[in-house]
Structure 1
Amino acid sequence: MTPVLELAVQDVAGARIARRAGASRVELCTALGATGGLTPSVGTIEAVAAQGIAVHPLIRCRPGGFVYDADEIAVMARDIRAALGAGASGVVLGALTPDRSVDRSALARLLDGIDVTSVDVTFHRAMDVVDDRATALDTLADAGITRVLTSGGVPRCIDGLNALTAMVAHPCGRIQVMAGGGIRVDDIAAVAGTGVDAIHLSARRTVADSGGPGGGSGGYDAVDETLALAAAAALGI
């Protein structure tokens, strides 16, 4: 089976490009380049959900590691409900214990009252810092999580092909495995060959646009339509 394409986007323009490229869905976030991604605003979720493509907002309240205290979990639980109320069809989340395993208690609190049979739930790249990926996959499958996003525990998927293949084989179809992390268009065929269910990439470029002393000088990221279309073509979309 050919993997589907998921694009990481930060705005309406990115969502429109993803739809034109034939992506099945978008992961919506903010501050992607600077932090790895944080929760987008409700207004952004509403605007992107109106573009005719499935929207899965990232639920991550701060940069850094994935061990969260009770207040942070409570905020992210509220963000999940706000995102779904704003038109999201799924969410992207993750939480770990200090010993680098899946935080089952945090997951239960985040998803309390959420019907995981009707909402897509992706466990994000917190998976890439767990010590035992096989056990983590079993835990997530048992919790009804739809899929995991992973590079196989390395910065770039192309260097984690063996791990990705093993992760696909381990759960025997009980949970989807989506490859994401440093994927270039030239890598897509090899990564798809591991048997993953989806390919995730940002296909982004940096737009130079200084905000001056109070607005930052690093410009901002935007989806590059040429790269997005090339990724789609590499998957035969």
Structure 2
Amino acid sequence: MKFELCIASYEEALMAQKYKAYRIEVCAALEIGGITPSYGFIKSCCEIEGPEKHIMIRPRGGHFEYTPDEVHLMLENIEVCKALNATGVVFGALTENLIIDKETTGQLTEKAKSLGLQTTFHRAFDFVKKPIQNLEILIDFGIDNLLTSGLEPTAIQGKKTILSLLEHANKQIHIIAGSGVHANNVVSLLNTGVHAVHFTARKPIFNSVGLKMGDVFEPDEDKIQKIISKTY
């Protein structure tokens, strides 16, 4: 089984290595969908042997329309990822009409490819109105991977759309199913023919440290063990 672990701590990266994850998506602030992590965190993860390291390139939470200054920051962070020996970068940009922003996507893709980095368009795709037409845009740009839940809150709910995307893509882009993946649905998702499944494996230690400083998490080995056990 090919799986990608979405991580926000070094301990989770080590767990991904332990369970032979195919790739890790390295993020900060998963509670808002993930943003670009720190230099030190990227560097530490990229020094771990084993899984591919794909780094989130997202300058902030919220919508996926970016200003020229934000795009410049994203381009700079792609260069940082290359310098730290990442495998690839993960990004997504939309227009106010909820179609893929061709200008921004073109800039980010060109930068990544010029540096020899793989490219993944993230779940910003799940906000588009016409998935097949937008899939064609990604294929035309030569994007390597698409992470999607099939435009639904969870991938199992979006299974029908994922199947449609797979059929239309005809292996021109890898489709990765993500969101709500667990032991009870992973086999059904893998049976669609997706290239990989994507999930987090973390659990809260306690809910808040006060002063709105956020929750504290630890790796959830039980979840990853249960998912892996379903595929053997």
> TM class, shorter-chain normalised?
over 0.9
| Distance in 2 of aligned mates of 1:235 and 1:68 | 40
| Residue 49 in structure 1 maps to residue 46 in structure 2 | yes
Residue in 1 that maps onto 2:190: 192
Is the 8 Å Cα contact of residues 185 and 227 (structure 1) preserved in structure 2? Answer: yes
| Distance in 2 of aligned mates of 1:188 and 1:203 | 14
| 3-state secondary structure, aligned to 2:93 | coil
Is the 8 Å Cα contact of residues 128 and 151 (structure 1) preserved in structure 2? Answer: yes
Deviations 1:185-213 (A, max 9, x none): 21101111111111000022112174343
Given residue 39 of structure 1, which amino acid in structure 2 is its aligned partner? T
Given residue 17 of structure 2, which amino acid in structure 1 is its aligned partner? R
Residue in 2 that maps onto 1:158: 156
Quote how far apart the aligned CAs of 1:138 are.
1.1
Is the 8 Å Cα contact of residues 109 and 143 (structure 2) preserved in structure 1? Answer: no
2:222 is aligned, of 214, 220, 226, to 226
Higher RCO (CA < 8 A, seq sep 6+): 1
CA 1:29/1:194 → structure 2, altered by over 3 Å: closer, same or farther? same
Residue in 1 that maps onto 2:87: 89
- So what's the TM-score if we normalise by structure 1? 0.92
Is the 8 Å Cα contact of residues 206 and 220 (structure 1) preserved in structure 2? Answer: yes
| Distance in 1 of aligned mates of 2:13 and 2:96 | 35
Question: Which segments of structure 1 move beyond 4 Å, counting only runs of 4 or more?
Answer: none
Equivalences, count: 231
Deviations 1:117-144 (A, max 9, x none): 9421110001101111111111111111
| 3-state secondary structure, aligned to 2:65 | coil
| Distance in 2 of aligned mates of 1:212 and 1:99 | 38
Given residue 40 of structure 1, which amino acid in structure 2 is its aligned partner? P
Residue in 2 that maps onto 1:30: 28
In angstroms, what is the RMSD of aligned CA positions? 1.6
**Unpaired runs of at least 5, structure 1:** none
Report % sequence identity. Answer: 32
